[in-house]
Amino acid sequence: MPRPAPVAVALDAPDLDTAANWAALVTPYVSTVKIGLELYLRYGPDVVATVRGASGVEVFLDLKLHDIPNTVAGAARAVSRLRPEIITVHAAGGTDMIKAAVESAPTAMVAGVTLLTSIGEGDLAALGVPGTVSDAVRRMAALAVAAGARGLVCSPQEVTAVRAEVGEDIVLITPGIRPSGADSNDQARVATPEEAIKAGADLLVIGRPITRAADPGAAAAAIAATLRRAAGGRRGLARTAVQEVVIGHTGIKRCLRPEMCSA
């Protein structure tokens, strides 16, 4: 079977059994499953082990921590015991908060959420944030990386600009991914999987186009095949093990868990 694709399937399920079933169906084809705030709050820490199951699929715990540094440090320390590969914090929490998360969760990759993909230019203006969406995302990205984040969450429309801002050693995670012809739902800044990979994304977050399909496993397999074709001889698919991301022709290795990566 081909290597799993660099896709994190968002398990926004109504109950734990459904989430576990979706995870079992998609894990032959994708590298990662994403547990969001709603599922985690409803079922607690046990949801991580239940979803991971015996497959060893990598877990992206997307709680978007955002509080004072001391509180985030305690929260990051607590969730790191569950051994997720990725945990998220809001970059808007500031330098000290991000540093606190990084120091408190040394076995996970801390990824800074730059700007939610549901936010557009009008929302920024209403919030009193100056500049364009791209400006805001780049500012947040630079701040998060300077504070120690090894990953960033940004929309696929900002991937190229963020890569230029932070360099090749940072893992870019992109929600707002919709296959051609799919409904954008509540996402304001979207792209197809092929567009995101070609722009330089490392891990694509895809939820409803897979989980609301009649056969989630088949939908995941189809997207994985599309990504293999899109990679071709250009940038190349990222290595799907979240512990070590290798980018095609550049040969650059972005190690999310340094102690587990080869030299």
**CA separation (Å) from 117 to 99, 128, 205, 228?**
24, 18, 11, 25
Given 64, 99, 198, 253, the catalytic residue: 64
* Residue whose tokens read 């504070």: 147
Neighbour count for residue 233 (Cβ, 10 Å): 7
Q: How far is CA 83 from the centre of its chain?
A: 16
Residue of 7, 74, 82, 72 lying closest to 40 (CA atoms): 82
Alpha-carbon distance values, 130 to 134, 188, 198, 230, 253 (Å): 11, 19, 29, 36, 35
Q: Would you call 253 a catalytic residue per the annotation?
A: no
H helical segments located in 105-179 = 121-127, 133-146, 159-166
What is the distance between the terminal CA atoms of the chain, rounded to a whole angstrom? 27
Residue type, 201: A
Positions annotated as catalytic residues are 64
